[in-house]
Structure 1
């Protein structure tokens, strides 16, 4: 009887721990996905800024050279 009770308690603890870990992993996956989205937005913004700077520099050089 005692062994069954201990076994049942351990099983219950393991199930609760697994459930908790599953939730934590799901949360981490969601956070990772959000970070990936933010990185993509940041990268796209950086590319747009670089393109804009190149255009401004090209326009400045063209204006300075009389073109």
Structure 2
């Protein structure tokens, strides 16, 4: 078994995600999101959906992009 790239847990149902040429193994979607999802430039939350991009920054919503 391969250890989770975020928490180090070894889990028989782990999965891999490839992003921009880097492949990492995770034991849960929570760990994958924590490691790979972008962070809102205003409030700091993880952007799980589409988000909003403005002037090279990523935001979780239009409200944060406007702040």
Q: TM-score category by the smaller chain?
A: under 0.3
The TM-score with structure 2 as length reference comes to 0.23
Q: Which of 1 and 2 has greater Rg?
A: 1
Higher strand share: 2
Higher helix share: 1
